[in-house]
Amino acid sequence: MRLADLEGLEQQKAAEMMGVSRQTFGRILAQARTTVARALAEGLVLVVEGGSYQLVPPHGPRRWRHRGGRGRW
């Protein structure tokens, strides 16, 4: 969601950064959006965990990008 919705990347570019196909990225993104929407609508706790990634601020503290590894977003 960060790559697509916050950073505004096209699905192909985001998929390349994650090391997955565009189709897989699309499925991951759809599932993430559904999970977040359900958590917000039903007042559930949202836990973000897992994956192998490192957040690096390339252009200041408000911009982040994926750097290596295959993370679950």
Spans of all domains in the chain: 2-66
- Show the tokens assigned to 72: 């679950």
pLDDT class for 57, splitting at 50, 70, 90? Answer: low
Tell me which H or E stretch contains 24. Answer: helix 22-42
- Res. 72 pLDDT band, cuts 50 70 90: very low
Beta bridge partners of 65: 56
More confident residue, 21 or 59: 21
For the cut 70, the answer to whether the pLDDT of residue 46 exceeds it is yes
55 phi/psi in degrees, rounded to 5: -90, 130
- Measured in residues, the chain has a length of 73
